[in-house]
């Protein structure tokens, strides 16, 4: 029979650690392969959209360890921002950090119709693949194609912004019929 100390030691979970990718291995990573280090040592993202560039700049750091350069990413990266315009099943299985992404919540507001056309969107990892769902004032939760999510994310008709689960619950209580 195991002692309490043994059971506690087995149950202890260490925090997730950042992911460090050596510069020479960057071409193998689904996100940092898009990075270019300019002559001043700054990371540029020439092939990403403006919104993706902002998220990448907030997510990826360039660090120096023992005289070598590495890209440093948090253990969980919001992969939803980096999906291509027309995602394939492989794109939906991509993990940028050290573990699959969590459930994420987004508020989508149609810029012309305003608040009366507000959607609550969630993205979850189901069976190792990202899946997207939306609800509005006229429908309950329905699964939407990833392509629909990326068109809302990249388009000019909708403002798509991340929200935390508390805000999502508040919005959902007001819009679901």
> 66-97: per-residue pLDDT in tens?
999 999 998 888 889 888 889 999 888 887 77
- Assess contact for 156 and 141: CB atoms under 8 A: no
At 8, list the tokens: 């506690």
- Rounded to whole angstroms, how far apart are CA atoms 30 and 33? 6
- Assess contact for 34 and 45: CB atoms under 8 A: yes
Question: How many whole angstroms from its chain centre is CA 155?
Answer: 18
Question: So where are the chain's domains?
Answer: 16-75, 104-175
Phi, psi at 13, each rounded to 5°: -120, 125
Q: How much is the pTM?
A: 0.75
- More confident position, 48 or 172: 48
pLDDT surpassing 90 at residue 25: yes
Phi, psi at 152, each rounded to 5°: -65, -40
Q: For position 177, what pLDDT does the model report?
A: 47
- Assess contact for 117 and 110: CB atoms under 8 A: yes
Reported as a single tens digit per residue, the pLDDT across 134-175 is 987 667 889 999 999 999 888 888 888 888 877 777 776 766
């Amino acid at each position: 029979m195991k002692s309490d100390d043994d059971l506690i030691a087995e149950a202890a979970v260490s925090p997730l650690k950042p992911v460090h990718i050596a510069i020479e291995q960057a071409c193998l990573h689904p996100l940092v392969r898009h990075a270019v280090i300019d002559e001043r040592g700054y990371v540029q993202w020439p092939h990403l959209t403006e919104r993706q560039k902002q998220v990448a700049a907030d997510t990826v750091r360039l660090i120096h360890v023992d005289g070598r350069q590495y890209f440093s990413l948090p253990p969980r990266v919001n992969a939803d921002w980096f999906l291509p315009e027309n995602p394939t099943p492989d794109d939906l299985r991509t993990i940028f950090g050290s573990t699959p992404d969590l459930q994420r919540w987004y508020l989508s507001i149609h810029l012309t119709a305003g608040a009366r056309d507000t959607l609550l969107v969630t993205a979850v990892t189901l069976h190792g693949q990202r899946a997207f769902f939306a609800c509005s004032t006229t429908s309950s939760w329905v699964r939407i194609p990833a392509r629909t999510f990326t068109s809302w994310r990249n388009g000019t008709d909708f403002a798509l912004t991340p929200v935390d689960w508390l805000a999502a619950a508040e919005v959902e209580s007001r819009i679901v019929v």
